[in-house]
Structure 1
Amino acid sequence: MIKKILLFLLVVLIVLQVFRPKKDNISTTPAPANINNFATVPADIDQMLKTSCYDCHSNNTVYPWYANIQPVGWWLDDHVEEGKKELNFDDYGNYNLRRQYHKLEEIAELVEAGEMPLPSYTIVHTNAKLSEEQKKMMTGWADQVMNDMKAKYPIDSLIRKK
């Protein structure tokens, strides 16, 4: 009986490999709505974003080898889609000003609190973990971009009145 159950599970696992999520097409040029086209992003910050954020928050996800094994691939795809829905650096310019500003606030808050990049992500991607100095650089950059926006746009277009 156990052999039949194990054989059945093996067959199910093999069949599942046929159904794969669609993956991003990696592009070497930034998307027209990429944050680099709407905010000043110094080279060191841009590299941090690419290393620590872009896999879940851009259209240029680099999938690990185990993303080809189902159902792990589905779980990763769901995680990436959720991350892009929350913030997609390649779609940043398509957001309204209030959302752009708010996303910068969230970047500063979550990076400073150590909530981003996700600890579960940095376990496997150790190079994505931000040092305290990098966290300060990232939050300082987000604060600077928010200040630039405040200087350029009326505050009521950036912050919702309470």
Structure 2
Amino acid sequence: MKKVSTVVLVAFIIIQFFPIDKTNPAPTPGMDLLKIKNTSPEIANLIKTSCYDCHSNETVYPWYSSIAPASWIMKNHIDEGRKALNFSTFAMYEQKDQAHKLHECTEMVESREMPLDSYFLGHQNAKLSDEERKILIDYFKREKQETERKMLY
């Protein structure tokens, strides 16, 4: 048993030499959803608190993001989140894609798929109350309708 414990400890120490890249992509002024949609401070705060760490270029890495293998899992979530939806570059999506992404946001918040339950482990402030969920759902629906309206002109 002592040999197994030693091997596990040595492996844990070795994997610490393979850190994740915590560099956020450069800001893209004027491309962020919250700016282009002129989002109210209340809603912007909800989105930043519950979504931005994985769905923007403004990730704030917590202390445990320096400890492998948790850091690797976190980095994978962030990369996948940005790939699926990046609020920081929202203006770069075509309008039909923006409308689709806003619809997906509505569905994910309604179904409670987002934010991920695992995100709450280190971010209790990201938990959304039923009222906050409704505020976000209404916001995403409203912005989707506005985006679709602009597509007609």
TM-score when normalising by structure 2: 0.89
Distance 1:123 1:18, change over 3 A: closer
**C-alpha distance in structure 1 between counterparts of 2:59 and 2:112, whole Å:** 22
* Paired position in structure 2 for 1:14: 13
Q: Which entry has the higher C-alpha Rg, 1 or 2?
A: 1
* Paired position in structure 2 for 1:159: none
2:109 to 104, 108, 111: 111
How many corresponding residue pairs? 153
CA deviation profile, 1:105-150 (whole Å, cap 9, x unmatched)? 0111111222211122124322111111111111111111112112
**C-alpha distance in structure 2 between counterparts of 1:52 and 1:73, whole Å:** 19
Aligned residue identity for 1:69: I
Aligned residue identity for 2:79: E
**C-alpha distance in structure 2 between counterparts of 1:51 and 1:31, whole Å:** 20
Counterparts in 2 of 1:38-57, with a 5 A limit? 38-57=36-55
**C-alpha distance in structure 2 between counterparts of 1:84 and 1:65, whole Å:** 21
Q: CA deviation at 1:25?
A: 3.8
* Paired position in structure 2 for 1:77: 75
* Paired position in structure 2 for 1:24: 23
Aligned residue identity for 1:18: F
Stretches of structure 2 lacking an aligned partner (at least 5 in a row): none
* Paired position in structure 2 for 1:160: none
CA deviation profile, 1:45-91 (whole Å, cap 9, x unmatched)? 10001100001111111122111111111111001111111111111
**C-alpha distance in structure 2 between counterparts of 1:54 and 1:31, whole Å:** 16
CA contact (8 A) 1:24 1:59 kept: no
Moved more, 7-16 or 81-90: 7-16
RMSD of aligned residue pairs (Cα, Å): 2.0
* Paired position in structure 1 for 2:84: 86
CA contact (8 A) 1:26 1:61 kept: no
Task: Give the percent of matched residue pairs that are identical in Structure 1 and Structure 2.
Answer: 39
Aligned residue identity for 1:12: A
* Paired position in structure 1 for 2:151: 153
SS at match of 1:135: helix
TM-score when normalising by structure 1: 0.85
Distance 1:92 1:16, change over 3 A: same
